Amino acid sequence: MLWLNVILQGVLIGGLYAMFAAGLSLIFGVMRLVNIAHGDLIVLAAYVALMATSALGITPLVSLLVVVPVMALIGYALQRGLLNRTLGDDLLPPLLVTFGLSIIIQNGLLEFFTADSRKLQAGAIEVATLQVTNGLWIGLLPLLQFVIAVAVIAGLQLLFYRTALGRAFRATSDDQAVAQLMGLDTRHVFALAMAISLAVVAIAGVFLAVRANFDPAIGPARLIFGFEAVIIGGLGSMWGTLAGGVILGVAQAIGAQLDPGWQLLAGHVAFLAILAFCPQGLFPKVSG
């Protein structure tokens, strides 16, 4: 029962890692952009939630109604005003610009919020549990987090393959020049993709802020978890991203059970092992 509980907790935290990774997967799938600032944008969303809860007196989960549209607007403006100018055949300019953006976000948050660690309080839901069987309990908040992660992944999958916007995303991804000839404004399409990516980031940031302490410096570690989940699942594959997050979460949970110092190491070892045997990831993207 002990190991069943460990694996179950790993699966649930894997939902959070999948949300870290989903935005990265979407952006790479649409515009082949590797966003080095992704982890810091997750932390920025956590601080936006902190401001919303403090100013409006609302709970962290209700603050999603504010944080999601705010981060989506930031994403649209960021892509339309800055990142579109860096896209091209050379992968280096977007890497350098997003690295610079990462530094700016970290230092901006340090300036306004200091290096003090913060945490959002969600109330009774944080300690509420559901009994599965005798001796096996599931936290209500981690379960809600996982259910929302699955819903987000399913929503992105439906958006990408069942809507006109999704067809625009796939057309620009396949051949940007042809998409422009067909009348698509690729700058607008890319900006919408980044807006959706940061809307997902907002959800991940709020759950991160409720689950654990956060400060301006933790962004790069969240970025690593997101990258590992994306690569384990397969670049551009939404359901693969969820699987990657779950595998990473379970590996970390097993490592922590064996020795608390092995938690992060176990996740990295699982990532390297899968990368060694499946360089394209477990579920590489297939054209749809």
What is the reported pLDDT for 82?
Answer: 92
| Number of residues assigned to the chain | 288
What is the reported pLDDT for 87?
Answer: 85
What is the reported pLDDT for 285?
Answer: 67
Q: Which stretches of the chain score pLDDT less than 50?
A: 287-288
**Tens-place pLDDT, residues 24-83:** 888 888 888 889 999 999 999 999 999 999 999 999 999 999 999 999 999 999 999 999
What is the reported pLDDT for 286?
Answer: 56
What is the reported pLDDT for 145?
Answer: 93
Domain 2-277: state its class. Answer: mainly alpha
42 and 104 in contact (C-beta within 8 Å)?
no
What is the reported pLDDT for 218?
Answer: 94
Owner of token pair 């948050």? 109
Alpha carbons 62 and 72: distance in angstroms, whole number: 17
Locate the domains of the chain by residue range: 2-277
The overall pTM is greater than 0.85: yes
What is the reported pLDDT for 287?
Answer: 47
268 and 232 in contact (C-beta within 8 Å)?
no
What is the reported pLDDT for 288?
Answer: 44
